Structure 1
Amino acid sequence: MKNASRSIIRLSDIDNVVVARVPLDRGNALQLGDEELTLLDAVDVGHKLALCEIPAGTAVRKYGQTIGLALRDIRRGEHVHVHNLGMASSPVEHGFGAAYKPTALIRPEATFQGFVRHGGRVGTRNYLGVISSVNCSATVCRHIAQAFGSEALREYAAVDGVVAITHGSGCGMSGNGEGLELLRRTLRGYADHPNFAGILVIGLGCEVNQVAPLVEVLDAREPGLFAALTIQDEGGTRETIDAGIARLREMLPIANRATRSTVGASHLTVGLQCGGSDGYSGISANPALGAAVDLLVGHGGTAILSETPEIYGAEHLLTARAATPAVADQLLARLRWWEHYTSAQGADMNNNPSPGNKAGGITTILEKSLGAVAKGGSTGLMAVYGYAEPVRARGLVFMDTPGYDPVSATGQVAGGANLICFTTGRGSTYGCKPTPSLKLATNSALFKRMGMDMDFDCGGIVEGEMGIAQAGELLFELMLRTASGARSKSELHGLGDNEFLPWQLGAVM
């Protein structure tokens, strides 16, 4: 006889499924109050189990919300997953702003140690960046960055490193289309990012994405911390590499003068990500991150919720928290765009749960989205931004991005995120130079198995050893320490040099 309180999790009194906390064997009996529930199937950790008879075509409920419809009659005690649970329509009722409440600021404001840049923006790291305008200059950028290993930087202790920001686009595209504008916006966001003390932009010379219009609108930097080169003007590959190395050597002493100072948490902008999700993501790590976000927003900071295909089916929870009807309308407009976009590609919005997500217990995009939205906490939704647009508003905001983590996080960093918090249940390894990335494990088994990659263990929530509020407080403290210079696991492993991945739209010609 298993103790039901230790073997299953029921998230709402109106739910008709529960989540297995431990592996459950067929024939096991669970004591539920005065009743016994006998399992008709084996149910793995993170997977769902029917609490009652669920007739075909009726709603299956988790989190107190509909996550899909029964494809056939589901018996009490049966495993509920892809074989008997299908999609339901996304909710159409939206109480715009019904749950919006102005945020009461917490005082005194929390602080961290950051780099105050020209113009007042604050960085959490102190890198130099080598940015390619086009794929044709990517190899040159990488060779320049590779010249500045640990030995070359030994005398520059305040400089975190030299990062090559390269990509696979920049030419073979329309000279005035959406694809070019999106790429330029992303590259400008990185070039202006406060985690870069200085930047070097390198082009080939004949590409569609010309260097001059790319850099002419960049924010002013301290003298000596900006340079631009083109391979054709420099006389070739070797000449450009030599010239680029020389420019960075001139920047290093200036960048090394940067020092950290005490700044308010209002200068912290956190990109929220989840990848490799499992059945616990919406139970532990995402709600814990949401609790930390509420604290961040309370202290005047900003959090960027993204991955538009992964809020599908849960958008009503966000429109209810919209600060204005216009914000809610903007969010729904982006979802309508995605419905059209996926349909035109012969796909649908429920394609999103990956094989790994399903192996971890997630069945439909509705279920995944309801868990994913929990990352955004409970405060008002203040603004909606396009991909890689500069984030100006304070508080919780939304940025339209794909669900693919590297593409999504690239947009957030371009928008100004100086810290990334990334929840995972299956185990995602991700670095994001120049922005530190914290990995939050949904369960303790993952945290132990991949301890060299995980920064925070949310498994105590699943085990009943830690509350969501407590986890949020601990995570907020970790966010401040990391923003102050404490290294994330991905930084200790040197991850983050290859994860810059702008969203590519438009024809490749």
Structure 2
Amino acid sequence: MTLLRLHPDDDVAIALIDLPAGHVVDGLTLTGDVASGHKVAVRAVAAGASVHKYGQVIGLASTDIPAGAWVHTHNLVMSDADRAAQIGAGRRPLPAPADTVTWSGYRRADGRWGTRNTIAILTSVNCSATVARRIAAAFPRESLPPGVDDVVAYTHTGGCGGASDGQDVRMLQRTLAGYARHPNVAAVLIVGLGCEANQIPDWLAREGLSAGPHLRTLSIQEAGGTLKAIAAGEALVQDLIQTAAGAHREAAPVSGLFVGLQCGGSDGWSGVTANPALGRAVDRLVSHGGSALLSETPEIWGAEHLLLRRADPDTARALLDRLDWWRDHALHHGMALNNNPSPGNLKGGLTTILEKSLGAVAKAGSSDLQDVIGYAQPVRRTGLTFMDSPGYDPCSATGQIASGANLITFTTGRGSVFGSKPAPCLKIASNAGLAGWMAEDIDVDASGVLRGESLDAVGEVIFRRILALASGEPSASEALGIGEAEFVPWQMGAWL
């Protein structure tokens, strides 16, 4: 087989290998070269008519497309046609699992479970970034006692330059608070300069946090400058390490897992292999009582009707409100939501945001959509939740972790070197070429779907790797030491 047609109603099929012009397959003669992962018209489509993939509209033909033609940006454009949403029509309970599954985690005082046991050094402002990084550098992983995974400095570019009570500061405070109370974080040191807009006592009080054995604060100005602050911070972290060393793994229920769903560097295979296979793993997770976070709001555009079918009216309205906000936000900044896909997505075979979104939503499986929350807001319900965020992977994953995700899954087709801390990241390749070429960055190869393995079988592999990773097995990105610089809080407002 050299062409894959995903649905009987599809106007296109996907080339499984590079195909030259003149190649004859399934009665079609290719009118031009078609790269692996790209689309071939399986029947003629008139200019202005809808083009279907996955049994869904992915755009409009901008010119007559003959059968056998390569279908891409030169002849396929965005469609703004309404997508009928039958709200709640697809709601159904998942079948109860036939087995009992556990993993090994850290039980926290608030009842949540950690997949890692780390020390977080948070910064209230960019001005304290260097001090925080120098403190963390004094505690390399090999120097830590058994059971303490890491000491990580989370630095950023915000915290001042705007209103002390403005939108950006509030968003940053909520994100920092989510990391401070994260179940993968055993103890926290917060480092500030002293005169910043994001005053530490103010945001701790606003977020219901207070200093104590597991949370310490440090002001560079009060400490007497850079070197004195570093020395003071090292002493504080040494004490926090001893606190963290008292935690131990124990058998944990799957209900203690909150998994963030991400995709980046997608290609034409992402929506065929990695994303739907991850969706099957998510269904397994949810059926066992676990939770998943779907995000990247601009990247569900064109596939929102599939989520609305699985939502009650209130949840559906909340999701539609966020999509309306993003439409207005894009217009305000002189952009369109179809500015996405990225150049890499286009080269990999994706053409419109509709096509990209239909593949991306497959990560969420088939369970009911239980809730819609704002960026970095705490998860309120078990099961599948949607968290509003940009499509930029590090920013979206940062919000998911702040919301409580204790593990991230990340599918990729073009290749990505993303990693995350304190929540470990499981990287899933959509194709065998990537899995081999960038093997040091990949945890699971989902390309077996193209060789006859079922989505359920590959989904089960992913589910078991999630449990192993949650239980302490290092991910590829952890082995490479990736995840500290990928802390990217969402900045929305103006700086003055």
Range into which the TM-score falls when normalised by the shorter chain = over 0.9
Which residue does 1:48 correspond to in 2?
39
Contact 1:419 / 1:436 at 8 angstroms: preserved in 2? yes
Q: Secondary structure at the match of 1:167?
A: coil
Q: Is structure 2 residue 270 aligned with structure 1 residue 316?
A: no
Give the Å deviation of 1:345: 0.5
Give the Å deviation of 1:214: 2.0
Q: Provide the alpha-carbon RMSD of the alignment.
A: 1.3
Q: Is structure 2 residue 464 aligned with structure 1 residue 474?
A: no
Are residues 255 and 218 of structure 1, via their aligned partners in 2, closer, same or farther at CA, if it must alter by over 3 Å?
farther
Which residue does 1:76 correspond to in 2?
67
Contact 1:107 / 1:299 at 8 angstroms: preserved in 2? no
Residue ranges of structure 2 left out of the alignment (5+ in a row): none
Q: How does 1:176-215 map to 2 (within 5 A)?
A: 176-215=165-204
Contact 1:90 / 1:312 at 8 angstroms: preserved in 2? no
Runs of 4+ in 1 over 4 A off after TM superposition: 217-223
State which of 329, 340, 355 in structure 1 corresponds to 2:343: 355
Which residue does 1:231 correspond to in 2?
220
State which of 408, 418, 422 in structure 1 corresponds to 2:396: 408
Contact 2:373 / 2:387 at 8 angstroms: preserved in 1? yes
d(CA) in 2 for partners of 1:272, 1:83: 32
Q: How many residues align?
A: 496
State which of 125, 133, 137 in structure 1 corresponds to 2:128: 137
Are residues 186 and 385 of structure 1, via their aligned partners in 2, closer, same or farther at CA, if it must alter by over 3 Å?
same
Q: Which one-letter code corresponds to 2:175 in the other structure?
A: T
d(CA) in 1 for partners of 2:354, 2:108: 42
Give the Å deviation of 1:223: 5.7
Contact 1:199 / 1:225 at 8 angstroms: preserved in 2? yes
Q: Is structure 2 residue 460 aligned with structure 1 residue 506?
A: no
Q: Secondary structure at the match of 1:257?
A: coil
Q: Which one-letter code corresponds to 1:481 in the other structure?
A: A
Which residue does 1:101 correspond to in 2?
92
Give the Å deviation of 1:174: 1.3
Which residue does 1:484 correspond to in 2?
471
d(CA) in 2 for partners of 1:95, 1:151: 54
Q: How does 1:374-385 map to 2 (within 5 A)?
A: 374-385=362-373
Q: Secondary structure at the match of 1:452?
A: helix
d(CA) in 1 for partners of 2:206, 2:149: 26
Are residues 366 and 241 of structure 1, via their aligned partners in 2, closer, same or farther at CA, if it must alter by over 3 Å?
same
Give the Å deviation of 1:103: 3.5
Q: TM-score, normalised by structure 1?
A: 0.96
Q: Secondary structure at the match of 1:40?
A: coil
Give the Å deviation of 1:7: 0.5
Q: Secondary structure at the match of 1:366?
A: helix
d(CA) in 2 for partners of 1:119, 1:139: 32
Which residue does 2:79 correspond to in 1?
88
Q: Which one-letter code corresponds to 1:56 in the other structure?
A: A
d(CA) in 2 for partners of 1:222, 1:418: 23
Give deviations 1:106-131, integer Å, cap 9, x for gaps: 36542110001111111000110100
d(CA) in 2 for partners of 1:330, 1:217: 25
Give deviations 1:67-120, integer Å, cap 9, x for gaps: 000000001100000000000015342111010113344365421100011111
Q: Comparing 185-194 with 224-233, which one deviates more in the overlay?
A: 224-233
Q: Is structure 2 residue 246 aligned with structure 1 residue 257?
A: yes
Which residue does 2:115 correspond to in 1?
124
Q: Is structure 2 residue 316 aligned with structure 1 residue 328?
A: yes
Are residues 146 and 90 of structure 1, via their aligned partners in 2, closer, same or farther at CA, if it must alter by over 3 Å?
farther
Give deviations 1:168-212, integer Å, cap 9, x for gaps: 000011122222111110010011101111000011111110000
d(CA) in 2 for partners of 1:294, 1:151: 37
State which of 122, 126, 147 in structure 1 corresponds to 2:138: 147
State which of 430, 433, 442 in structure 2 corresponds to 1:442: 430
Give the Å deviation of 1:220: 6.8
Q: Comparing 295-304 with 246-255, which one deviates more in the overlay?
A: 246-255
State which of 12, 18, 21 in structure 1 corresponds to 2:16: 21
Q: Which one-letter code corresponds to 2:24 in the other structure?
A: A
Contact 1:281 / 1:442 at 8 angstroms: preserved in 2? yes
d(CA) in 1 for partners of 2:107, 2:87: 38
d(CA) in 1 for partners of 2:151, 2:238: 11
Give the Å deviation of 1:215: 2.1
Q: Which one-letter code corresponds to 1:15 in the other structure?
A: D
Which residue does 1:396 correspond to in 2?
384
Are residues 67 and 240 of structure 1, via their aligned partners in 2, closer, same or farther at CA, if it must alter by over 3 Å?
same
Q: Which one-letter code corresponds to 1:250 in the other structure?
A: D
Contact 2:87 / 2:316 at 8 angstroms: preserved in 1? yes
Contact 2:94 / 2:283 at 8 angstroms: preserved in 1? no
Q: Is structure 2 residue 1 aligned with structure 1 residue 12?
A: no
Give the Å deviation of 1:462: 1.7
Q: Which one-letter code corresponds to 2:22 in the other structure?
A: G
Are residues 135 and 90 of structure 1, via their aligned partners in 2, closer, same or farther at CA, if it must alter by over 3 Å?
farther
Q: Which one-letter code corresponds to 1:456 in the other structure?
A: V
Give deviations 1:34-83, integer Å, cap 9, x for gaps: xx111111100000000011100001100000000000000110000000
Which residue does 1:157 correspond to in 2?
146
Q: Is structure 2 residue 266 aligned with structure 1 residue 277?
A: yes
Which residue does 1:3 correspond to in 2?
none
d(CA) in 1 for partners of 2:208, 2:474: 28
Are residues 208 and 222 of structure 1, via their aligned partners in 2, closer, same or farther at CA, if it must alter by over 3 Å?
closer
Are residues 319 and 440 of structure 1, via their aligned partners in 2, closer, same or farther at CA, if it must alter by over 3 Å?
same
Identity between Structure 1 and Structure 2 (%): 51
